[in-house]
Amino acid sequence: MPTLLEGGSNNSLEKLGAFKNSLGILSDDGRRIRPRRLMEVTGLGAVEITHFVNKSRPQIYRDEILGSPELLRRFRALVMVTDIVFALLNQDINETRKWMMIPNTVVFGDSPFEVCMRGDAEPLIEWLRTRAPQ
């Protein structure tokens, strides 16, 4: 059975109300990454983004790129985290960006972005959900 971050027909993130893609990091169907949007949201350049998406620099300038199942799992986690934080911060995109990229004591000094890209977002998502409005 797929985990929360893998999606799947029986465990759709949209059904759970946790997957809105508020910052537009993923394609509308959630199966492709939007690298230019990722650069806008994170403030990282193309060279840094290539490290996180495991793609060549020319591919970073495409509108959307495919990722491995593991990479998409990490990006779905990032989207879930940004959706919750975006809601908690009154839909302020600038504050959401800052929160995602600045080291945070909640995640032991790493940035939430790093935690998601490392594949360790589940505890962060649960922690945020306890603070999110119902």
Cβ contacts of 98 within 8 Å, gap of 6 or more: none
Cβ contacts of 119 within 8 Å, gap of 6 or more: 70, 73, 74, 77
Cβ contacts of 68 within 8 Å, gap of 6 or more: 54
How far is 44 from 36, CA to CA, in rounded Å? 10
pLDDT average, residue stretch 43-72: 92
**Residue 14, pLDDT score:** 41
Q: Are strands 32-33 and 65-66 parallel, antiparallel or unpaired?
A: antiparallel
pLDDT category, 18, cuts 50, 70, 90? low
- Look over the chain and give the mean of its residue pLDDT values, rounded to a whole number: 85
- Examine the pLDDT at 43 and tell me if it is beyond 50: yes
Q: What are the φ/ψ torsions at residue 65 (nearest 5 degrees)?
A: -130, 150
Between 12 and 103, the more confident residue is: 103
pLDDT category, 45, cuts 50, 70, 90? very high
Question: Helix or strand or coil: residue 21?
Answer: coil
**Residue 77, pLDDT score:** 95
How far is 37 from 114, CA to CA, in rounded Å? 17
Q: What are the φ/ψ torsions at residue 33 (nearest 5 degrees)?
A: -95, 140
Cβ contacts of 57 within 8 Å, gap of 6 or more: 46, 47, 50
pLDDT average, residue stretch 64-91: 94
pLDDT average, residue stretch 76-80: 95
Question: Helix or strand or coil: residue 33?
Answer: strand
pTM listed for this prediction: 0.83
Percent of the chain residues past pLDDT 90, beyond the cut: 69
